[in-house]
Structures are given as structure tokens and as C-alpha cells.
Structure 1
Amino acid sequence: MQSSVTFVGNATTILRLGSFTLLTDPAFGAAGSRVYLGNGAWTKRLRDPAMDAVDMREVDAMLLSHLHGDHFDLAARRVIEPTLPILTTPQAERRLRRRRYLAVCGLPTWECREYTRDRQRLRVTAVPGRHGPGFADRLLPDVMGSVIELEVDGRCALRLYITGDTLFDAALAAIPRRMGEIDAMLIHLGGTKMLGMLLTMDGHQGVELTHLIRPTMTLPIHYDDYKVMKSPLTDFLTRAKNQGLSGVRPIERGATMTLPLRRGVAGEVA
């Protein structure tokens, strides 16, 4: 049994976790396209997604951290079938149902959804996220992080944390405390700024979160696709190296990286 992540661009990935395949935050628009961020704000895409890596026929469900244009754009809406199961925030669920997405499920924080296939079980738990500082967070869409657990015969083979578009916050300390050891983390970076406010983690905050979570593997995503992103990946990588953080693995668009399965479980299911 293997598990892997393919990086498409921005926060869009294909997760192949044992027998299950998930699509995260699909933004399929080409470089030069514009997306709406709410409250009259737009941004322009700077880099093409690796669309050759996307095959919607293999996707079992979609994981949407929040309903922003750079996480579910018009190009993606043209190809996502309304019957595809979507896990997202309760706020996004209400909005997507009005757009006739029939299989959307909103997860309040700490609630989960499970899928079972043969001897394997996939559990997705919504965990805290905060998109903006102070009162500004109320003007932005609700955002959730996700912890995805792959079990084989009741034993955990992999625990993956996807941060979503959150800032570093003390509430995130509850994630490893409640969920246990994190094997891999997909961390949303970019230092997104609007009206001078930081709305996603920059390199400094990303390193702080990596210290807090202490995953075996950290994969940075969501850092240079749109004009509103102001903190380059090198900021995070340099700080992580200087502070002795291990397991940080940059991943190129279109590339696939194997995720670390736990010993004693990885080889039990072909």
C-alpha cells in the first residue's frame, strides 16, 4: 500500500491515500485569469496549474478548506460534477447547496466524516483555522484545517494535516494534542496580504506552526500562484533550515511525493 500527494498548484493537490483519492481546493484557471476574493477584491493568477496531473475520474471526494475564488474557481466549477462528495465548512455548505452541489457536507470544528473500503477506513476531521487577524476574520469566509487519517484493520497508517488558509494561532496547539502525532503536513503559506493585513501564514508564521505540529514531513504549498501572495517560499525554507527543522520537502507543480506510512502497517495491504 502506498500513499502520495501530487501538487497541482496553489492549494490544489491530488491525495492518493491507500484505496482513496481526494482532490483538495480545486483552482484550475490558467495564468492571467482573475478570481474574486470577496468584499470587492480580485486577484490575478501568475502561474499555470499542472492540469496534466488531474484526472477527475479517479477522485472519490473533494476537500474544500473554504469558499474563496483561489480555492474553488470558475474553471474548476465547470468540470466538478454536482454529485461529487464535498467536505467543507458549514458556511460553504450552505452557499454550495444554493449552487446545486448535491453531495456537500459541512463539518463543524472537531467533527469528522468517514469512508470505508475493504479493510481500509479514511477519516476526515475538521480542525481550527483563522483566516484573518481580529475583527477582519469576520469579514472573510470561515476556514477549516483538516486532519485525514488512513486506517488499515483499525490501525493508523497515516495521519495528514492540511492547514487551510489559517494564520498561526494558539488554538492550533489543540490539533496535535487532540489528534495525536502528525506524519505529514500540507502547509498553506504565501503571506497573503490585502489592505496591509496578513491573511495567510508567511515564512515566519509557517516555521512557528511547524515547530508546534512537529510533523515527520512538511510540504509547503499555496505560496506564489496569485498576486496577493507576498512571502516567497524561500523565506519559509531559509527560516526552517536556520532553525534546524527537519523533514521539510518542497514539491514542484505536477510532481508526486510519497507520504510516510507508519511501520507495521504500510506493507499489509497491497
Structure 2
Amino acid sequence: MKKVLLAVAFTLTATFSFAQGKTNTKASLQLIRNATIVLEYAGHKILVDPMLSPKGTIESWGGVERNPTVELKMPVSDITNNLDLVMVTHSHADHFDEAASKALPKTIALMYQPSDKDFFAKEGFTNATAVEDNHTWKNLNIHRVAAQHGTGEVLKMMGKTSGYVLQAKNLPTVYVVGDAIWTEEIKKTIKTYKPDYIIVNSGGAVMKGFEQTPILMEEEQTMALIRESGKAKVIAVHMNALDHCRTTRASLRKKADELKISPKKLLIPQDGETIVL
């Protein structure tokens, strides 16, 4: 009888270990809208840059129409249910809005850049961590890297923003660039971490009155990133949802086609679409 019980226990342990390993070797990305994504990664559901407001409830930033310009494709509860972690690149309303603050439990594990400490304290999140550089959370390695949200006077207006590199055992390395223009620093980050996937905000956004100064990568800058991306697949988001974004999915694909960049190299998901990593 003892031998039978031991055999059963061993079998259950092996099965559990296999299931755990199997779960942790699967990863996916779902584009929710704009820069809001859900990563299933290392057994965790991770929400990045939640903008959860209904269509037209936020002011216009480009003088065209109120934001966001499209509705969510799913209920907010589908996005927030069973979350393990929230990661925020910066606290602009198109990356963390009032609707997100209300929808998320104040005890959720949340990570942010140090310059947003006062913002998240004011919002009442009690399990929030400022990521200075490298940070370990459970079975994840998280590296925060600075991003440049424009140039000159516009950069002063935009303030600080960040990106994150996520790594876990037996999983692809994922680089979430955040709101940024193409810089040598991003090129260095790609060379340092050699990501398997790069998530880039390619909306080509500009602020009203500063139309010649992009605050996000547009078609040309996204192509420059692709040229330096190595083995990585590039996933372009932050398009077709805000009134100050000039680059669209169609214009980005057109530029990629002109340069013979394959859809397997540059992935441009629709809202609600899931990509297996």
C-alpha cells in the first residue's frame, strides 16, 4: 500500500511539474487598443499601459476629435479579471487613464517609472513599485530603460517615459519600447538584450502647434528600428485610436511593403487580436 501511495504521489508531482513547465513556456500578446496590451507571460496575466475609457470621453490632443476615437472591443472586466501585474510606461492619459484607475483594484501589483511615484501614490495604489533599473518579480526579470518622448521644447512638455524588457526562463525576451522616438539608446538596448519581440508605439503622434516634431515613431523611424532589430519580430501598436496619431496601420504597412519587409517580420495587430509569442 505504501508503495502504491508513493507511486501516486510521484505521478501527481511529475504531472504538476510538467503542467507548470508547459504553462511557463507559452506566451502571447493581445492588443486591447492603442498601447494597451495584455501579455500572458511566465504564467502571469500582465496588463500594460491601460487606457480603458469609452470612446470620446477624453479631450482632443490633435484638434480633430475627442479621444479615444474607437471603442474597446471587449468589456473592461475581461481585461481586468485575473490580473497578476500592471506595468505602466508613463502616466499620460493614453497609457493610464481615470477609467483604469477606477477599474483596477488598489492592491494590484503595479510597476511604474520613478518619476511617476507621486502620481500613483495619489491614485491610492498600495502595492506599487518604482522600477529604477533591474527588478525581479516572482519568476520575471524586468529591466526598465529610458525612452525619449520627442525633442526640444516638445520633449520638455512630454516629460519622462520608459520602456521595459521582460525576461523569463524558457520564454522569448520581450522589449516594450513605450512612447519614444528612434534613438541610439533604443539601438543599444536592442543590442544589449537581443529581444525576440519588440513592441513599438508607431503612431507618429504630434501635438497641436508642433506638427513637425513627432513624439512617437512614425513610418520612417519604425523602419529604422526594424533595420536594427536583429532576429526580433516587431509588433507595432499605438495606432488608429487617438486623434493626434498621424501614422495608421495602413500607412505603416504600405511603407513596409515598399521596403519588402515581410508581415512575418513586422506584425501590425488589430484591436482585440492575439499574437502567440
What TM-score do the two structures reach when normalised by structure 2? 0.82
Structure 2 unaligned spans of 5+? 1-24
For the residue of structure 1 that corresponds to 2:161, the secondary structure is coil
Q: Answer yes or no: is the 8 Å Cα contact 1:28–1:51 preserved in 2.
A: no
Q: Answer yes or no: is the 8 Å Cα contact 1:66–1:141 preserved in 2.
A: no
Q: Share of identical aligned residues, percent?
A: 18
**Aligned counterpart in structure 2 of residue 63 of structure 1, from 50, 71, 87:** 87
* 2: CA distance, partners of 1:70 / 1:91: 17
Q: CA RMSD, aligned part only?
A: 1.9
Aligned residue pair count: 244
**Structure (1 or 2) with the larger CA radius of gyration:** 2
Specify the alignment match of 1:264 in structure 2: none
* 1: CA distance, partners of 2:240 / 2:117: 28
Q: Answer yes or no: is the 8 Å Cα contact 2:145–2:162 preserved in 1.
A: yes
Specify the alignment match of 1:49 in structure 2: 72
* 2: CA distance, partners of 1:80 / 1:219: 26
What amino acid sits opposite 1:171 in the alignment? E
Runs of 4+ in 1 over 6 A off after TM superposition: none
Question: If each structure's helix is expressed as a fraction of its own residues, which one has the higher value?
Answer: 2
* 2: CA distance, partners of 1:236 / 1:217: 15
Does residue 173 of the first structure (1) align with residue 187 of the second (2)?
yes
The superposition leaves residues 185-226 of structure 1 with CA deviations (integer Å, 9 ceiling, x where unpaired) of 111011111122311111111111121223432111101101
Specify the alignment match of 2:6 in structure 1: none
Specify the alignment match of 1:86 in structure 2: 110
Structure 1 unaligned spans of 5+? 260-270
* 1: CA distance, partners of 2:142 / 2:51: 21
Q: Answer yes or no: is the 8 Å Cα contact 2:52–2:99 preserved in 1.
A: yes
Report the Cα offset of residue 35 of structure 1.
Answer: 4.6
* 2: CA distance, partners of 1:164 / 1:27: 14
What amino acid sits opposite 1:27 in the alignment? M
Please, which moves more after superposition, 18-27 or 98-107?
98-107
Q: Answer yes or no: is the 8 Å Cα contact 1:190–1:231 preserved in 2.
A: yes
Does residue 132 of the first structure (1) align with residue 150 of the second (2)?
yes
* 2: CA distance, partners of 1:210 / 1:8: 23
Specify the alignment match of 2:259 in structure 1: 243
* 1: CA distance, partners of 2:231 / 2:261: 10
* 1: CA distance, partners of 2:159 / 2:85: 21
Specify the alignment match of 1:23 in structure 2: 47
The superposition leaves residues 109-146 of structure 1 with CA deviations (integer Å, 9 ceiling, x where unpaired) of xx122223xxxx21111113000112421221310011
